[in-house]
Structure 1
């Protein structure tokens, strides 16, 4: 905003799906695959995920060394619905594992999930941008480091390419620059 003092932003941080047209929203950042092909979109980058727990939880419950070990652990789950949830993993050899997880907490709020994890309640899959600071400070420990979880695609989404204003287009260009490299390990704008 310092570079563009005339820019006015109404920032709404929400985990719910927003209908851009009905709610009069110029631009949204969407994580995951896009389902509505009537919207305009620009790929910004990837959102890597990591499996984490506190050292205290791991001292009590043990440290999983392979994905199937997770069946003996308490999972804290990012979701708005209870039911069948699977964590996906890819090994260094290219093998894929899908592990069904259950647990006492299902939440659609990443801050709540991070808080529960930091309170030693179990193991959680979190986006790196959420877990990074807690991992750096050693409050959380990454798990199954020989395995990766699938990264989500990040897109800037807008109602229509025909209605894209130059201001929104410039903002999308700026955002695209922010999501390069290990973007999740630094402050946006730096």
Structure 2
């Protein structure tokens, strides 16, 4: 398991599960589930630092920035009225592993711009709180990606079929219904 973008062919991987916009390639991508992204933090963080009311307020908060994004410190959000705001996020903690960021966020160390797949169970339990629910960013999609091959290996086909069954449209456990 790895957060960085791998080269399946050069590095000898059979399948990659990728949450990102896809680039043109010779790889096959099976679309699985939508992935929303939220601004989240712990209740203890918000008790100490206050709750932002609009995206511009985020500039005064401490973020944990995910360094594998192309612009980890820039956030562009839009509300239902079509208003758009861009804010520069500040943070003392830079990380290239989303799971580590969630653990630190649970301890009240800052806010995270997090994919719902990573924070959904903590939101349900109340360990994390989502803010700015009226503001959104474009959703991403979880894909299973694998090299094009005339004869797909049985293990690859079985794994991709499993991921489609488990996380395909309407089935992902983190997607609210």
SS in 2 for 1:104: strand
| Number of the residue aligned with 2:20 | 32
**By how many angstroms is 1:171 displaced?**
2.9
* Residues 144-159 of structure 1 aligned to structure 2 (within 5 Å): 144-159=132-147
| Number of the residue aligned with 1:90 | 78
Q: Is the 8 A contact 2:65 2:72 kept in 1?
A: no
Aligned partner of 1:76 among 56, 59, 64: 64
Give the whole-Å Cα distance in 2 for the aligned partners of 1:155 and 1:92: 27
Give the whole-Å Cα distance in 1 for the aligned partners of 2:171 and 2:114: 16
Moved more, 59-68 or 73-82: 73-82
Q: Is the 8 A contact 1:88 1:150 kept in 2?
A: no
| Number of the residue aligned with 1:8 | none
**By how many angstroms is 1:163 displaced?**
4.1
Q: Is the 8 A contact 2:34 2:140 kept in 1?
A: yes
String of CA shifts for 1:135-189, please: whole Å, max 9, x gaps. 1221111100111232212211111142423442343233123222261438xxx
Q: Normalising by the residue count of structure 1, what TM-score does the alignment of the two structures yield?
A: 0.81
Distance 1:152 1:83, change over 3 A: closer
Q: Is the 8 A contact 2:66 2:72 kept in 1?
A: no
String of CA shifts for 1:106-143, please: whole Å, max 9, x gaps. 11111111111111111111111211121122111110
Where do 5+ consecutive residues of structure 2 fail to align? none
| Number of the residue aligned with 2:50 | 62
Q: Is the 8 A contact 1:89 1:147 kept in 2?
A: yes
Give the whole-Å Cα distance in 1 for the aligned partners of 2:7 and 2:38: 29
| Number of the residue aligned with 1:185 | 174
| Number of the residue aligned with 1:106 | 94
Give the whole-Å Cα distance in 2 for the aligned partners of 1:172 and 1:82: 28
| Number of the residue aligned with 1:50 | 38
The count of aligned residue pairs is 174
Q: Normalising by the residue count of structure 2, what TM-score does the alignment of the two structures yield?
A: 0.87
